[in-house]
Amino acid sequence: MNKKQLISIALSLAGIALIIYAMHAMGEVSEAKGFIEDVKSFFRNDIYVDLLGGEAEKQASKYDAKILGLLITGILLTLAGAYGTFFYRKRW
């Protein structure tokens, strides 16, 4: 294997790691949002819902764009690494 092909494989592996991490983080945020909804449904009074749910939803939702960015970056790195691995392969 040549150096460019090894770098391409490393890019693919980094992309796959980012995809796995982003998917895990999406699950964690989704779980947190579900918990917030459970707490909001338990307290039906508007004062408690605003107090408990409003700020917590903002905190949980602020990670959505970052996680989506990680996922897109992981996909792009994986595709770039796969292309580089294919493009720089040894031709017999």
For 38-76, the pLDDT digits (tens) are 777 777 666 666 666 567 777 777 888 899 999 999 999
Q: How far is CA 6 from CA 2, 23, 53, 89, in A?
A: 6, 26, 49, 10
Q: Is the pTM of this model over 0.95?
A: no
Distance between CA 72 and CA 78 in Å, rounded?
Answer: 10
